[in-house]
Amino acid sequence: MIKIITDSSSDLPEELIELYDITIVPMTVTIGNQDYLEKINLAPKEFFTKMFSTDALPKTSQPSPATFAKTFSKFGTDTELLCLTISSGLSGTYQSACMGKELSNANVTVFDSLAGSLGHGLQVIRAAELAKQGYTLDEIIKELTDYREKMNILVLLDTLENIVKGGRLSKFQGSLAKILNIKVILERVDGGKVEILEKIRGTKKFHRRVLELIQENGNDFSQTTFGITHTGNEEDAEAIKQELIHLFHPKEVIVNFMGATMGTYAGKDGMIISF
């Protein structure tokens, strides 16, 4: 038996967590002086309400090695555990899970998704599907590694407000971007980090360019699952979902709220598309 474990930044819909019996280890989210456990006592909608009403950015921190060790130790040594984490290029969660493995007596393999949000979550689903089909752990790791390498991730920033708050952009640059209606598309690069791909003026051009970039990454999407996460702009996410279905006829399009880890930087009306 192979049991799948992941952290809460995978942004998986609750129904899929239940369907595949996935164990979630929560991230800690700090807003002001208050600490929360993501999706335990802080739902995504509540997080964004709090974030958009405060000047200071929330902070997220990875689960401690002890938390991972405690989670791993719940399962007997006869159970093979596969723990998939958010990209080591974005968070210390992978290292924390590896330390948790050393602290426990469990039979654990830790896998770095090199992705965030549903880019990470889609890999968790793939692992759970393969485990359900009877694949061995080595076979699952091989399939996941290939899937991870081929995955594309686009981060859509409708506003640069949170980038300014986080100190990565000056207030002047942020104000100029707002006046000029500049939107930013980032992409995942080697090492699981994200970098700016393009800057676009205007919302219509912005969304059109995103679809063009997806088209440039392949011709046949019939076996592709897309993951879209958003920061509360459900109408935008649904509109892009319908465009994807109309243009590319994918296997599936999963839409869900973005969690605190990526949502803190995506800001208002941000989205992440993974495929």
Residue 70 one-letter amino acid: K
pLDDT the model gives residue 78: 86
Q: Do the bridges between strand 28-31 and strand 59-61 make them parallel or antiparallel, or are there none, so unpaired?
A: antiparallel
Q: Are 7 and 86 in contact (CB under 8 A)?
A: yes
- The pLDDT score that the predictor gives to residue 172 is 46
Distance (Å, rounded) from C-alpha 12 to C-alpha 103? 27
Residue 25 confidence (pLDDT): 98
The tens digit of pLDDT for each residue in 3-41 reads 999 999 999 999 999 999 999 999 999 998 899 999 899
pLDDT confidence of residue 166: 57
pLDDT at position 114, please? 97
- Where in the chain is CATH 3.40.50.10170? 2-27+62-150
pLDDT at 265: 85
The predicted pLDDT at position 140 comes to: 98
In the prediction, which pLDDT does 163 show?
A: 66
Work out the average pLDDT over 201-217: 92
Max Cα distance, the chain (Å): 60
Strand order in the sheet with 2-7: 23-25, 2-7, 80-85, 107-112
Residue 55 has pLDDT above 90, yes or no: no
Q: What is the pLDDT of residues 107-125, one digit of tens each?
A: 999 999 999 999 999 999 9
Confidence at 170, pLDDT banded by 50, 70, 90 = low
Mean per-residue pLDDT over the chain, rounded: 91
Give the model's pLDDT for residue 91: 94
For the packed helices 93-103 and 65-73, what is the interaxial angle rounded to 10 degrees? 50
Dihedral sign from CA coordinates of 107, 112, 117, 121: negative
Q: Is the pLDDT of residue 54 over 90?
A: no
CATH topology of domain 2-27+62-150: Rossmann fold (3.40.50)
Is 173's pLDDT higher than 70?
Answer: no
Q: Mean of the pLDDT values across residues 146-163?
A: 88
- pLDDT (average), residues 254-265: 93
Amino acid sitting at position 113? S
What pLDDT, on the 0 to 100 scale, is given for residue 195? 86
Which CATH class, in words, describes the domain spanning 153-274?
Answer: alpha beta
Tell me how long the chain is: 275
For the ranges 136-145, 147-156, 182-191, 240-249, the lowest mean pLDDT is seen at 182-191
Q: Is 168 a residue whose pLDDT tops 50?
A: yes
pLDDT of 167:
54
Residues 6+ apart with CB under 8 A from 154: 185, 186, 187, 197, 210, 213, 214, 272, 273, 274
Give the per-residue SS3 of 172-238: HHHHHHHHCCEEEEEEEECCCEEEEEEEEECHHHHHHHHHHHHHHCCCCCCCCEEEEEECCCHHHHH
Query: Where in the chain is CATH 3.30.1180.10?
Result: 153-274
Instruction: Using only the alpha carbons of the chain, give its radius of gyration.
Output: 18
Count other Cβ atoms within 10 Å, centred on residue 205: 12
Q: How far is CA 76 from CA 2, 71, 79, 109, 177, in A?
A: 11, 11, 6, 14, 54
pLDDT at 180 over 70: no
Contacts from 190-198 at CB under 8 Å and sequence distance 24+? 191/87, 191/88, 191/89, 191/114, 192/87, 192/88, 192/89, 192/90, 192/112, 192/113, 192/114, 192/115, 192/116, 193/87, 193/89, 193/90, 194/90, 194/116, 194/153, 194/155, 197/154
Whole-model pTM: value is: 0.91
Mean pLDDT of the 215-234 span: 95
From edge to edge, which strands make up the β-sheet containing 59-61? 34-37, 28-31, 59-61
Interhelix angle 137-150/117-132, nearest 10 degrees = 150
CA angle, 59 then 263 then 33, to 5°: 25
Say what the pLDDT of residue 160 is. 73
